[in-house]
Every structure is written in C-alpha cells, then in structure tokens.
Amino acid sequence: MEFRHLGRSGLKISEITYGNWLTHGSQVENDAATACVRAALDAGITSFDTADVYANTVAESVLGEALKGERRQSLEIFTKVYWPTGPKGPNDTGLSRKHIMESIDGSLSRLQTDYVDLYQAHRYDHATPLEETMQAFADVVRQGKALYIGVSEWTADQIRAGAALAKELGFQLVSNQPQYSALWRVIEGEVVPASEELGLSQIVWSPVAQGVLTGKYLPGQPLPEGSRATDEKGGARTIKTFLDRPNILERVQELKPVAAELDLSLAQLAVAWVLQNPNVAAAIIGASRPEQVTENVKAAGVTIPAELLTRIDQILGDAVITDPAETAKSSPASR
C-alpha cells in the first residue's frame, strides 16, 4: 500500500480507501462486512470512508464494530453529513448548525470513536448560509471531534467560497469527494484546477463506474444475477447512467488488451487509472466479498505509461462524460 498527503495538510491516507456505501447494513450481512474490513486491514488499507446516511446510519455502526480493537491512531476514519437520517424531520438534513452539531455526535457514537479524521459536507446546502455551515465545521474542529474538514460533490465556485471562509475561521478545507472514473471525468475541467490552487485533494468514489469498468456487464447479455444493476435498493438506479450510453459495454471490452499489458484486471486498471491524476489522494473501493478487496488493492502503486493512457482515451472516445455542469446537479436545489 502507498500513502498520499491529503491536500496541503500533513495527513497521509492510504491511496486505496475502503468505503461502505451500498454495502454495509444493506446489501451485505454484518459478518461479511466485517470480513471485508479485515481484508482491507490485512492489505494495508488504513483509511475508511462512510456516511451517516448509508443504510440510514447502520453502515457507520457496522464499520465501528468492525474496527473495534484496532489501534485508533493507526486509522483514518472519514464520515459525512448532509442527507436525511432518522425520522427525516425538517432539521434532519442539510448543513445547518443544528444538523451538523447533532450529526457529528451521532456519528462518533456509532463509529465508537472520540473523533473522526475527516468530516465531510456530503453535498452543498443551498438552503443554509455558507457562513453558518463553515462556522459549525470550525467549532467541530475546535472541539476535537474532527481533525480535518472536506466536502463532497461541490462545484469549483462552491469550493472557492468555502475555502475562503474556512481560512477566515482558522481552518482549511483539505479534500473533495467526487465521482471520478475513466468514464466520468466531470471534475477535470474546473474542480481539479480550483482544488490544486486551494490545496485540496480528491478522494474519489466509483472509480470502476458503478461496476461497468469491471467488464462483467457483457454486450447483448442479460445482467448478471446479484450485480449492482439488478439491485433495486439503489444500485440499479445509480448504474443506469452508464448502461444507457450507446456502445459503452463494447468499448469497455476493448480495454482488456490494455489491462493485459499491465498484468491487471479491468477493475484494477480502472482504479489505477484514477490514481494517475496527481490531484487524487485516494480511490474508494467497496466490496461485498473479501476477495474483491484483495484484488482491487493490486492497483496501488501502478504506473500507467502515457501511451496506454492515450489508448484508453481513444477506446472510450465519446462515451466519456466530461460536462462540469454535472457536479452542480448532484446537490439538490432545496432540502
């Protein structure tokens, strides 16, 4: 495992980070989830990402239990706040001071820890003044409940405004957590340049494009049983963006010779691809089985030669989504 600095901070995180969105507390039984966490630890992963909204808080509890007994100082635990939790009352969502201050306490209790290493705004809240949000995050840091603050799926302008307020309040934004893969590159045009300028890193989710870049979805064939595309709890909806694009499955199959040249699987190639971006500190991988973790960590430390990166671009062609406006669409206009 290799480690990278998170933004301009002194914090180092494992460049393969284990995340439990759509798995712990929903798709995967607790014993299997714990086995995946153990596999991650055995592979040298020290960074773990979750959120209060995952499985309506259950994912945090499962992760906290799985990490119980580990040396806390040797781990980097990330969680997030924004989406509705609990009974979903009027103040159970967003980035108001009330919701942030209550949510951090709930997350710490479920994770069985006194602090998280990184606390992230899971989306931008258009219904709360940014000043209120950043002041609440500043207080969370001063109280020692979070060591660092990040955001997720914020636009370049939102990151600039948040970073300026954070500086005034005596802390810094160190990260952004966007979707990023060889097929979804919407952060490259605006978010990455702004982040480089301001000292933020990307911790990217879905490096395998919801599983499309694993190559398991074959052109003209039925969707594999038990795959994300057949999961009506949320997986099928999230992968639809890619599966609906013409010829995308054919293009993915054409990547196999590229992966073979590097002695990688398609999934490993996809994870290694996002790590070639110097502004990416970590790629988040999820798993429903321990062997998936063991396989995906082989992407750590891989260097893809420039000529192969060019060939990947040529193969994927216009199947790649690059419009920066897609980032803004991920944050609801209202709660």
Candidate ranges 14-28, 166-180, 229-243; pick with highest mean pLDDT: 166-180
User: So what's the pLDDT on residue 221?
Assistant: 75
- Active site amino acids: 54
Q: Across residues 184-202, what is the average pLDDT?
A: 98
Q: Are 287 and 36 in contact (CB under 8 A)?
A: yes
User: So what's the pLDDT on residue 260?
Assistant: 97
Distances (CA, A) of 93 to 58, 128, 249, 296, 331: 17, 11, 37, 33, 13
User: So what's the pLDDT on residue 220?
Assistant: 80
Q: How far apart are CA 76 and CA 113, in angstroms?
A: 11
- 290-334 confidence digits (pLDDT tens): 999 999 999 999 999 999 999 999 999 999 999 999 999 999 988
Q: How far apart are CA 135 and CA 96, in angstroms?
A: 10
Q: Are 259 and 248 in contact (CB under 8 A)?
A: no
- 60-89 confidence digits (pLDDT tens): 999 999 999 999 999 999 999 999 998 889
Among residues 62, 55, 60, which one has the least CA distance to residue 31? Answer: 62
Q: Are 259 and 315 in contact (CB under 8 A)?
A: no
**Contacts within 8 Å (CB) and 24+ apart, 303-311:** 303/276, 304/262, 304/269, 304/272, 304/273, 304/276, 308/258, 308/261, 308/262, 309/273, 309/276, 311/258
> What are residue 28's DSSP bridge partners?
24
User: So what's the pLDDT on residue 235?
Assistant: 63
Q: Across residues 182-195, what is the average pLDDT?
A: 98
- 88-140 confidence digits (pLDDT tens): 899 999 999 999 999 999 999 999 999 999 999 999 999 999 999 999 999 99
At the topology level, CATH places domain 3-208+278-300 in TIM Barrel (3.20.20)
Boundaries of every domain in the chain: 3-208+278-300
Record the tokens describing residue 29, joined without a space: 């039984």
